[in-house]
Structure 1
Amino acid sequence: MSTAKAERLLIADDDADLVEAYVLFFEASGYIVQTAVDGAGALAAYYAWHPAVVILDIQMPRVDGHAVAKEIRRMGFTPRPFLLAVTALSAAAEKAESFKAGFDHHFVKPARLPVILAAIASRPII
């Protein structure tokens, strides 16, 4: 992806090693990446930066990923950001809660980054 077309991607997870791996992968795939270590930081970064794609862990300190997704959806910014949950939560009820919160996808850790990238690449651009 060229820099002229590079999209902004926000990643929020309290696992620093995982975030580092995500950053390396997505920057190599042409994305401009910002990170946050908790939900409050993710909301602050979203307000300031308005990324096209947001990857959120669900179980984060201060504000969980579901609350972050709900708040992003409540804001109603256009274009509508693409929200992906990447979490250890794997039960059907937890996946349903992610979709109810406004996520477009729910991936269970350890999620394969090429699969996440493919989901992002195949999203409808509105």
Structure 2
Amino acid sequence: MAQTSGHGAAVKPLKVLLVDDNLDAAHTLQLFLRAAGHEVEIAYCGADAVDLARVFAPDVCLLDIGLPDFDGNELARRLRRLPQATGATLIAMTGYGRQQDRDAAQAAGFDHYMVKPVNTVQLSDLLAEAAEAQHPR
């Protein structure tokens, strides 16, 4: 069953790649996304995320910036080069909220930037936009 966003539009299920090295945060967000009807895969580091994206072909990638192997900005650049993820909506999730951090994320290819803790209403609206872009009426 399709969920609705704050704007009342039906949200089509998306394939979401969630990348965060904080296991509790990742699993909590995964529960939220699955409850909304989305298919979710989790990676805990950038290298695993790239490998997973090759087989999962995500519609949306929720990427932590502070990862143990390479940062989320580098991960975004690598995902943009993958045919399976080049058209995905990339959303940064980070504790860094300075303008220079936002600018670096935008330069790396992110479509949206969210400061943790993630606002689930805002996230739902972004997912509704992504669903409409992936599957226009």
TM over 0.5: yes
| Aligned length, in residue pairs | 124
Gaps of 5+ in 2: 3-11
- Aligned with residue 75 of structure 1, among 62, 78, 82: 82
Offset, 1:78: 7.0
Aligned match of 1:47: 54
CA contact (8 A) 2:93 2:113 kept: yes
Partner of 1:84: 91
Can you give the 5+ residue segments of structure 1 that lack an aligned partner in the other structure?
A: none
Instruction: For residue 133 of structure 2, give the secondary structure of its aligned residue in structure 1.
Output: coil
Q: Tell me how far apart the structure 1 counterparts of residues 123 and 31 of structure 2 sit (CA, whole Å).
A: 14
Q: Residue 38 of structure 1: which of 5, 27, 45 is its match? A: 45
Shift of 1:77: 4.5
Q: Cα deviations across residues 8-31 of structure 1 (Å, max 9, x unaligned)?
A: 101000111101111110000010
| Matches of 1:59 and 1:79, distance apart in 2 | 22
Superposed CA offset, 1:33-65 (max 9, x none): 000111111111111111100000001011211
Partner residue of 2:13?
A: 6
Moved more, 30-39 or 69-78: 69-78
CA distance in 2, matches of 1:15, 1:83: 19
Distance 1:6 1:79, change over 3 A: farther
Q: 1:29 to 1:76 in 2, by over 3 A?
A: same
CA distance in 2, matches of 1:101, 1:116: 20
CA deviation after TM superposition for structure 1 residue 117, in Å? 1.5
Per mean C-alpha deviation after superposition, the further-off stretch among 30-39 and 66-75 is 66-75
| CA 78–46 in structure 1, closer or farther in 2 if over 3 Å, else same | closer
1: distance between equivalents of 2:118 and 2:30? 14
Q: Residue 93 of structure 2 contacts residue 114 of structure 2 at CA under 8 Å; is this kept in 1? A: yes
Q: Which of 108, 115, 133 is the equivalent residue of 1:125? A: 133
- Corresponding position of 1:64: 71
Pair 79,94 (structure 1): closer, same or farther in 2 beyond 3 Å: closer
Q: Determine the C-alpha separation between the residues in 1 that align with 2:101 and 2:58.
A: 25
**TM superposition score normalised by structure 2:** 0.83
The verdict on how the C-alpha distance between 1:110 and 1:12 changes in structure 2, with shifts beyond 3 A counting, is same
Q: What root-mean-square deviation, in Å, do the aligned CA atoms of Structure 1 and Structure 2 show?
A: 1.7
| Percent sequence identity over aligned pairs | 31
Q: What SS class does the counterpart of residue 55 from structure 1 fall into?
A: strand
